[in-house]
Amino acid sequence: GGGGGHLGAFISASLAVHNVPEGLATAIVLYPKGLSLWTIGLWCVCTSLPQPVMAVPSYLMVELFIPILPIGLGFAGGAMFYVAYDELIPEAKEKIGRWDVTAMTGGIAAIGMLGAQLYLHD
């Protein structure tokens, strides 16, 4: 579709950035088990292998799924909102102990994200 190249570059960049904490989370679990750094590095790479493997069939079928892309993105956004609302915010409130600090931090983050979206919008 129109502007698909920009969306594809954005999604690729976000996946690349996402792989950093994903690999770090894998390494944090494996390091205390006494594995060598080479083995840990190999497992961190293996956590990302399905992405390039599935990139080719995804690219070949992308035109078929453009009509349902808004549904998929809406579902993903709803799932992320649920996790944040049901798990992350209550846990932050519990750890901080003050609702006003939690709400203010969440509000500043939301304003920052909306500002970035407005700034980056064509």
> Which tens digits make up the pLDDT trace of 55-94?
888 888 888 988 998 999 999 999 999 998 898 888 888 8
How far is it, in rounded angstroms, from Cα 70 to Cα 22?
Answer: 26
How far is it, in rounded angstroms, from Cα 101 to Cα 92?
Answer: 10
Top mean pLDDT of 36-45, 48-57, 103-112 is at 36-45
CB 48, CB 23: distance < 8 Å: yes
Structure tokens at 54: 């599935």
Task: Quickly tell me which residue has 């205390």 as its tokens.
Answer: 32
16-20, 23-27, 40-44, 108-112: least confident range: 16-20
pLDDT classification of 1: cutoffs 50, 70, 90 = low
CB 24, CB 40: distance < 8 Å: no
